[in-house]
Structure 1
Amino acid sequence: DVCTHDGGCLAGGDIEGREVVCPRHGARFDLLTGEATAPPAYEPVHVFPVKVEGGRVYVRDDRWD
């Protein structure tokens, strides 16, 4: 949820197609891969595996796997 450019909160960003736009400076990140797709960010953000089952959303934090 943190922009790799300036630490902005991506939760407040707009979703445009398959990208989230940082509300601070307009950096863009691919929602599936985390890749930075537009400056001023160049480093990717971490993405998490998500699945929906029975109306519930499950997110796995795989950073420590």
Structure 2
Amino acid sequence: MTDWTKVCDDGELKDGQCRIVDVDDTMIAVFYKDGEYHAIQDMCTHDGGELASGDVEGNEVICPRHGARFCIKNGKALSAPAYEDVETFPTRVENGTVEVRDDRFD
């Protein structure tokens, strides 16, 4: 089982902001939206570019390279040129700390 990785302190991120963490060589973008934390792989499935610096509109992050949109809640690809979803990861708040883990290989 993969260990939990600290992202930030709870309350540190404002609505629509994200923080990137490296979990076992996988870059994960953890977004804070409407009082919840959501984590997706920080890699556009269209061309491998990062997503975290893209604009957040509602529950969508817009890839800064070519404009593909992804749901930050479930990783679904919502618009071309991306057609494959991004990976999602569990988050939790433990003792005032936001944490994420990569559970794909458990």
Same fold (TM over 0.5): yes
Percent identical: 65
Greater share of strand:
2
Greater share of helix:
1
Does the alignment pair 1:61 with 2:82? Answer: no
Does the alignment pair 1:27 with 2:79? Answer: no
What stretches of structure 1 of length at least 5 have no aligned partner? none
- Please report how far the alpha carbon of residue 50 of structure 1 lies from its aligned counterpart in structure 2 after TM superposition: 0.8
Higher relative contact order (CA 8 A, sep 6+): 2
Query: Quick one: which amino acid aligns to residue 59 of structure 2?
Result: R
Q: What does residue 47 of structure 1 align with?
A: 88
Using the size of structure 1 for normalisation, the TM-score is 0.92
- Please report how far the alpha carbon of residue 54 of structure 1 lies from its aligned counterpart in structure 2 after TM superposition: 2.9
Q: What does residue 8 of structure 1 align with?
A: 49
1:15-38 CA-to-partner distances (Å, cap 9, x unmatched) read 111111100000000111111001
Distance in 2 separating the partners of 1:18 and 1:7: 21
Using the size of structure 2 for normalisation, the TM-score is 0.58
Number of aligned positions between the proteins: 65
